[in-house]
Chains A and B, each alone.
Chain A
Amino acid sequence: MFADLNLRKRWAAVTMPLREQLRRIPTLSYLVGLFAAVVLEQAVGKDFAQNVLDFRRLPRFFGIVDIFEPFGNLDFSGVLAPFFPSPTGLTQTPVQDAGNAIGQLVTDFVNALFYQGPRDPGFFSVFLRVLVYDVVVFVIPTLVVALLVGWLLTHLLRGLPGWLIVALNVAALYTVVALWGGDGGTRELTLVYMGINIMLAVSLNLVNGYMGEFSVGHAGFMAVGAYVSSILTMWFFTDTTIFEGAPLVATDSGVVLVVGFVVALVAGGVAAALAGLLVAFPSFRTRGDYLAIVTLAVNFIVQGVLNNIEVVGGARGLNGVPLWSDLQWVMILTIISVIIIYNLVNSTYGKGIIAIREDEIAADLMGVHTRQVKLVAFLVSSFIAGMAGGLFAHALAYVNPGMFGILKSTEALVMVYLGGMGSISGSVLAAVIFTLLVEALRPLAILKWVVIPLILIFLMLFRPQGLFGFREIKFNLRGGESAAAAQEAGDGTA
């Protein structure tokens, strides 16, 4: 026990200078380090994974998609099925059957942990090899390069204006992600979902976190945006049987297509914002749980109406939406959305939004034009949700009303509360974690939706304010002293 404590202390003491150093280097150097790691992975990653670590292919998404795969063929359904039988599945010996099912399950589980066959080595083996792969290919190169360039960057960044440093960081992030994820395959698709989820979480956080309302129908706005933009792009640019066959604008010109997509996405956002008025106007009189119902009802109404419009396919949905949402589009729009929300809530005007959360009547008395502020918040929030919907439709090449139900709204809520209400970086991080979690747990099929709620319940029980509460993640943009220390010194303007 004591020896253990001593070891930990000694470890802390030994690594102290290193950790201090890592804290002092600017954020940009980590991005440069990541860039080096990504280049390294592209050069030797595949050889290393297949020849040294005996993977069948490159580990997917840092290996997180691979580690839960051994559990994919666990079947829990025999455990309670004998007690809740269908007329055909009736059994005379339910207890015995359930016992057998549990026994089988335990065997399967042990096999999944350790060994399933010569080519399926089980969870522990995969987990260890993924760990080795990530540390060797990503963690060590990133840290080494970051330390190497850290000193240099600290000097280079000195004296640059804050906005330029932020821009440099964003550009570096963009480059790294585009280089690592632009494979046109599952990596890219996962990153596209991630960006869309970030947009959803951040825009919902504006209403639920900063304004303190409880909107539970965010997917409704997403649906409006998805449908309007899909209809526009299909009508104008594709050969479809739904809208009179031939495209209205027959062109191969890239510029026209880009402008067309932007216009379609913005139109989707505007339409979603108009739908947002359905919530904004009732919010003048209705508050709290009653407003939650209004948003819920709007979600159901949007879904129901789309189900009933035959031109857009009714419940079958729209097929043949052009596949235009690639990583670049999603990243650019995600970054723009985050910047818009960040600047809005940190502006003087945005203080009005927060004032409404704290006390609406007091805010009104202090001269906040509460109705106008609410209107703006709902419009901005639903506009971004609509854009996210448009991107979503053009990433899947298909939309139907069933995609935009309460489950989708719940996902958005989960991301906001996971990250913490009133924390934009929290929402972004939560959207990243949530997307990765969904991907990692995909092999578990239905169990995925057992594990995710369990995680959420435990999170709420032990950290009800979410991961970040009302705080933001601090970045050490300039390097040198840590950001917190710099702020204490009265220098924290970045």
Chain B
Amino acid sequence: MDATFIQQFFNALQLGSLYALIALGYTMVYGVLLLINFAHGDIFMFGAFMGVLGSWVFGWGFVPTLILSMLATALLGVTVERVAYKPLRAASRLSAVITALAVGLLLENGMLALTGADPRKYPDDFFATQVYQIGSVSISTVKLLVIILAFALFVALFLFVRRTKWGMAMRAISYDKFAVPLMGVSQDRIISLTFAIGTGLGAAAGILWGVAYPASLDTYMGMLVGWKAFIAAVVGGIGDIRGAVIGGMILGFVEIFVPYWGQGIGVSSTWRDPVAFALLLIILVIRPTGIFGVARRQKV
């Protein structure tokens, strides 16, 4: 194993962690509401922009900005759910999906109209980067931060969903949403909590994305990334937390290693997206409900 391979491995791990963090937002909402929250990519964008507010205007460091962004974005997510999705719970699922698409368009274009199109980035001292040399492999602290923080959040979320009463209520709602209110658990409160956690994780991903790829901060940043993360969530089996992590990782690795191995056989790096999507398509054809997804049996 040569040095560039290890380097690419870490790049892939970083990208995969970010996709996975975003995918978690899709998958949690889907697990509870069976709603594809197409606005999630733009909520991720909002999180990254809250980082601009915290770092430049308030002059805060990384950790307080991260917390501010996660809280503010969670508030946005809960508000969106209350205003736009809740009235549609009884309507056909597709009208909720269309509403989600519209909310996404509204967020990204509203943000552009209200803040202008100047290119933005975080301050240089927002997260001081150091590069460690291990043999001939160099790893930056940003990469380590992204990977470690993402994994810490996965573990925390997994334990939350598996070990706490709130988590149990979430799983219960996705299992049978009519029985849960009968047990004295407020459905609305659990759904709000789910949105808060999912969008909060999206905000964390937004800040980390802005730190890892400084040139990408604009109001449309969530569009393509959001769709990709959504596909990652589905490939993993939407509604399943492990699935989101695995799906995000698969996507990250494909996107990094297709150009890396492609060089040798004359495939240019711009083939990255089509190859990644084709691979996902093949996975879905082989396993129609994703890797961890369980087919819902239909009673006849």
Q: Is the beta-carbon distance between B102 and A301 smaller than 8 angstroms?
A: no
Q: Is the beta-carbon distance between B98 and A456 smaller than 8 angstroms?
A: yes
Cα A82 to Cα B116 with chains together (Å): 10
Q: Is A460 an interface residue (CB 8 A)?
A: yes
| Known interface pairs A80-B115, A294-B281; A449-B95 also in contact (CB < 8 Å) | no
Cα A89 to Cα B94 with chains together (Å): 42
Kindly list chain B residues whose C-beta atoms are within 8 Å of the C-beta of A292.
Answer: 36
Q: Within B74-113, which residues are at the interface with A (CB < 8 Å)?
A: 84, 87-88, 91-92, 94-99, 101-106, 109-113
Q: Is the beta-carbon distance between B106 and A86 smaller than 8 angstroms?
A: no
Interface magnitude class on chain A: 35 or more
Smallest CB separation, A88 vs chain B (Å) = 7
Kindly list chain B residues whose C-beta atoms are within 8 Å of the C-beta of A362.
Answer: 300
| Known interface pairs A297-B281, A304-B273; A414-B98 also in contact (CB < 8 Å) | yes
Q: Is the interface of B mostly helix, strand, loop or mixed?
A: helix
Q: Is the beta-carbon distance between A460 and B268 smaller than 8 angstroms?
A: no
- Interface residues in B, total, Cβ within 8 A: 62
Q: Which of B53, B98, B289 contacts A417 (CB 8 A)?
A: B98
| Known interface pairs A292-B36, A305-B274, A361-B298; A86-B118 also in contact (CB < 8 Å) | yes
Kindly list chain A residues whose C-beta atoms are within 8 Å of the C-beta of B98.
Answer: 413-414, 417, 456, 460
Kindly list chain B residues whose C-beta atoms are within 8 Å of the C-beta of A413.
Answer: 98, 101
Q: Is the beta-carbon distance between B95 and A465 smaller than 8 angstroms?
A: yes
| Known interface pairs A292-B36, A410-B105; A457-B99 also in contact (CB < 8 Å) | yes
Q: Is B271 an interface residue (CB 8 A)?
A: yes
Q: Within B212-234, which residues are at the interface with A (CB < 8 Å)?
A: 223, 227, 230-231, 234
| Known interface pairs A290-B289, A292-B36, A406-B227; A457-B106 also in contact (CB < 8 Å) | yes
Smallest CB separation, A359 vs chain B (Å) = 9
Cα A431 to Cα B206 with chains together (Å): 36
Kindly list chain A residues whose C-beta atoms are within 8 Å of the C-beta of B278.
Answer: 297, 301
Q: Is the beta-carbon distance between A464 and B91 smaller than 8 angstroms?
A: yes
Q: Is A300 an interface residue (CB 8 A)?
A: yes
Q: Is B203 an interface residue (CB 8 A)?
A: no
Q: Is B127 an interface residue (CB 8 A)?
A: no
9 A-B residue contacts at CB 8 Å? A80-B114, A83-B53, A84-B49, A85-B57, A293-B234, A297-B231, A307-B273, A414-B98, A454-B106
Residues on A lying within 8 angstroms of B by beta carbon are 76-90, 94, 208, 214, 278, 281-282, 285-287, 289-290, 292-294, 296-298, 300-301, 304-305, 307-308, 361-362, 365, 406, 410, 413-414, 417, 421, 446-447, 449-450, 452-454, 456-457, 460-461, 464-465
Residues on B lying within 8 angstroms of A by beta carbon are 30, 36, 49, 52-53, 56-57, 84, 87-88, 91-92, 94-99, 101-106, 109-121, 123, 223, 227, 230-231, 234-235, 238, 268, 270-271, 273-274, 277-278, 280-281, 284-285, 288-290, 293, 298, 300
3 closest Cβ pairs, A-B complex: A304-B274, A77-B116, A86-B118
